[in-house]
Amino acid sequence: DAGVIQSPRHEVTEMGQEVTLRCKPISGHDYLFWYRQTMMRGLELLIYFNNNVPIDDSGMPEDRFSAKMPNASFSTLKIQPSEPRDSAVYFCASSFGQMWDMNTEAFFGQGTRLTVV
């Protein structure tokens, strides 16, 4: 398996524009996570899915952020409208089982570096 695949790797957009980040999890994994990494706040969980169903979206900053998982092999994180404070690295991760399962680990994609100007 090629691992968790995110696209694009880099995105530069103007304030007010819509941004869509994409993620393909590892085949067979039943959990998918979206994290955001910034210097100030470190790694924060935005939302996670189990079997394509959103379980916890309490980390989503505000209504401008939305995430979907239409099937087991694809998820999107959308920001509309984007703002400069959204600039960060966004990571997608997937796992088979949840983190309290003894043999589970989360596999991370390489991230999307978003810059909103």
Partner 1 sequence: AQSVTQLGSHVSVSEGALVLLRCNYSSSVPPYLFWYVQYPNQGLQLLLKYTTGATLVKGINGFEAEFKKSETSFHLTKPSAHMSDAAEYFCARPSTNYGGSQGNLIFGKGTKLSVKP
Q: In whole angstroms, how close is the CB of 57 to partner 1 at the nearest point? A: 10
The amino acid that residue 6 corresponds to is Q
Give the footprint of partner 1 on this chain (CB under 8 A): 4, 31, 33, 42-43, 45, 48, 50, 55-56, 58, 91, 93, 95, 98-100, 102, 105-111
89: β partners: 37, 113
Q: Closer CB to partner 1, residue 20 or residue 37?
A: 37
Between 82 and 95, whose beta carbon lies closer to partner 1? 95
Shortest Cβ 16–partner 1 spacing (Å): 28
DSSP state of 62: S
Nearest to 28 by CA among 51, 53, 54: 51
**92/65 Cα distance (integer angstroms):** 15
